Amino acid sequence: MRWAWYLGLGHGTRGAPAAFVGTALLALVSLTHADDQKLSSVRIGYQKYGTLNVLKAEGSFEKSLAARGITVTWTLFPAGPQLLEALNAGSIDFGSTGEAPPVFAQAAGVNLVYFGNQPPFPKGEGVLVKKDSPIQNVSDLKGKRVAFNKGSNVHFFLVKLLEKYGLKIDEITPTYLTPADAWAALEGGSIDAWAIWDPFMTAAIDRSGARVLQDAEGIAANREFFLANRGFAEAHQDILLAVRDAVTRCGTWVSTKPEDVVHYLAPQLGMSEAVVSKVVRATPWGFQPISEQVVSDQQTIGDTFFALKLIPKTIRVADAVVRIPNSSP
């Protein structure tokens, strides 16, 4: 099934009804020796700035599978929506995206599952204004032109931020722009503010002295999720465990040799090493199993997007979650 209506929409934190969390979390099926013999390759979707790109550079995951006769194919995607369409089409087995893409994908009927996430990074997204802007607080955004990616993580963040200050999304003038276009619009004065995530946020601050009106602390979680095709996840639990262990090793690599990670990522992102270093060092790296709080936060995003008519139906996030053991079998 194609779901082109979702493509291009871009890259949460309040409770959902208890019925949506806890008991509905799925258990993974243990991998048998016969299953292991059938698996000859693993196909991974990744993005330029994301944990899986760092995992690719670190190399131990690929080496561990090669020792078992399993090859790894890496496919680069420009954003989460395209990555999840490939997952839906059967072109990849697993990948990672931000919070919003899996909500849209689940609403579109994609047979995906969440199997882990990075720690939350609320300070990695925020609303920027020019350094000399008269806008001093969120209430000042009323009637102003605010740019963001429609249906993205920052769309949800912006809705909740405005709510906190007694405003609704229709009390601003939304301007739907990609990061590159929004950057130029903010500098040129055709928009008043920009809701954006890292590394673009840090790059804008570095280049122009743009000011953070407010970040997502206390408003939205801003997590990266590890997602897999449901059939693959149920048949190959050991691969998911290997991903978990490799992501943990990546966290150690970043913390002990951040300069190596920066040297690898900066040319791919087309950003200075100074900017990438700030983001890499600020980002909380590592792997966390999907918790009930995470399911609740994702459900809130789904409910918010349905209320905004961004998705065509309600979703039950807990139906798309798998738990993996705390230790390898």
3-state secondary structure of 35: helix
End residue of a domain, out of 215, 238, 256: 215
pLDDT, residue 302, reads 97
Does residue 101 sit in the same domain as residue 15?
yes
- Torsion angle in degrees (nearest 10) through CA of 212, 293, 111, 229: 80
Nearest Cα to Cα of residue 291 among 117, 99, 106:
117
End residue of a domain, out of 153, 186, 215: 215
pLDDT, residue 38, reads 78
pLDDT, residue 327, reads 54
- Give residue 37's Cα distance to chain centre: 32
CATH number of the domain enclosing 103: 3.40.190.10
Does residue 155 sit in the same domain as residue 258?
no
What residue has token string 């002990």?
A: 256
pLDDT, residue 227, reads 98
End residue of a domain, out of 185, 215, 245: 215
Does residue 104 sit in the same domain as residue 230?
yes
Distance CA 73, CA 8 (A): 24
Residue 328 lies in a domain: no
Which residue ranges of the chain lie beneath pLDDT 50?
1-37, 328-329
Nearest Cα to Cα of residue 26 among 295, 314, 248:
295
Domain count, the chain: 2
Does residue 205 sit in the same domain as residue 263?
no
pLDDT, residue 13, reads 30
Distance CA 120, CA 284 (A): 7
Does residue 186 sit in the same domain as residue 149?
yes
Does residue 92 sit in the same domain as residue 241?
yes
Domain span at residue 150? 122-215
Does residue 169 sit in the same domain as residue 144?
yes
Residue 192 lies in a domain: yes
> For residues 164 and 214, is the Cβ–Cβ distance under 8 A?
no
Q: Which residues of 218-254 are buried (b: 16+ CB within 10 A; e: fewer)?
A: ebbbbbbbbbbbbebbbbbbbbbbbbbbbbebbbebb
> For residues 71 and 288, is the Cβ–Cβ distance under 8 A?
no
- Which ranges in 70-178 belong to alpha helices (H)? 80-89, 100-107, 153-164
Does residue 115 sit in the same domain as residue 246?
yes
